[in-house]
Amino acid sequence: MTLPLITTDDELGGGCALPSAYPLSTHSHASAVSWGAILAGSAGGAALSLILLILGTGLELSSVSPWASYGVSATTFGVSTILWLSFTQLAASGMGGYLAGRLRTRWLAVPTDEVYFRDTAHGFLAWAIGSLATAALLTSVIGSIVSGGIHAGASMAGGVAIATSVGTEIAKPNSDSGLLGYFVDSLFRKDINAAANSQASYRTDIMPVDALGSPTAGYLSEVARIFNFNLRTGPLPKDDIRHVGQLVALRTGLTQQDAEKRVTETYAKVQAKLRDAETTAKDAADKGRKASAYAALWFFISLLIGAFVASFAATIGGRQRDL
């Protein structure tokens, strides 16, 4: 290349002698961004991230057991999940950044600090595209890992399934089976001694029974509806206590006072069961909320570290490319 010359003072007749010529700055017309290298780095990083996520999912599932005395604890499961996601992000980001720096084209007549900046930018762009691709293609995988950690921690912390089934069963308006049905049936259990000592005869015309001698489903459903209607409001009203007590007395042979006492005690047991279920469900939800917050925070930190690692690895790859 022929370099332009600068006119000196000697040529102009001046007294100071300057160098006869020096080159002007030359610039490369090549693009500052090697998109091929960036896409190659992002593809390599996304593929490595997929492989590591699948491996981590298998390892985590193999370490969890529904039995209380086997498998890892909820804390260990959460910590190991966070560490594996962080390792996955670091390894994939480093690989993608290094590929983006090593596969770029050579920039001619570009200052060293500019080359360093461009390599850093290539690594960052490779990390960004790879992260977006991973988020778009592997949302279900990441979601299953995070939700799996939450469900494992919640179930190990204490009976989420039991709390859910209890709350659902009590909330049924015509519950004649399950939890509420059990307590309603217990109301009509005969007391043999009370029935033998009672002078009142059992009247089937007032309370019809089935072939097994149990009250028909209509009366059981009525008592269940009375309980269910008042569970959320507070204590059982006196009129309902008296009415249910009459039905219990007719069935069991208990006195009206003893029957009403049984109704009150059974209703208190149902309320206590409901409160325990609500408390367990709230505790599980709170533990799940905290687990989600911690997982999101650490995943955010690992993403930031991954961006840094990708940028740094690109400078290493670019330096080796220019050797």
Domain edges within the chain: 35-64+71-157+289-321, 162-281
Rounded Cα gap, residues 53 and 49, in angstroms? 6
Q: What is the pLDDT of residue 5?
A: 44
**The Cα angle at residue 296 between residues 53 and 311, in degrees rounded to 5:** 65
Rounded Cα gap, residues 220 and 214, in angstroms? 10
Rounded Cα gap, residues 28 and 42, in angstroms? 26
* Through-space distance between the first and last CA atoms of the chain, rounded to whole angstroms: 24
Q: What is the pLDDT of residue 248?
A: 85
DSSP state for residue 2 in the 8-state scheme? P
Contact 10, 21 (CB under 8 A): no
Rounded Cα gap, residues 318 and 265, in angstroms? 79
| Residue 119: CB atoms within 10 Å | 27
Q: Over 60: is that where the pLDDT of 312 sits? A: yes
Q: Over 70: is that where the pLDDT of 67 sits? A: no
User: Buried b vs exposed e over 25-62: b needs ≥16 C-beta within 10 Å?
Assistant: eeeeeeeeebeebbbbbbbbbbbbbbebbeebbeebee
Which of the residue ranges 168-182, 254-268, 291-305 would you say has the lowest mean pLDDT? 168-182
Q: What is the pLDDT of residue 299?
A: 83
Compute CA 269 distance to the chain's CA centroid, rounded to the nearest angstrom.
Answer: 34
Element holding 100 (H helix, E strand): helix 74-102
% the chain with pLDDT above 70: 65
pTM score: 0.56
Q: What is the pLDDT of residue 311?
A: 93
Helix, strand, coil percentages for the chain (3-state, nearest 5): 70, 0, 30
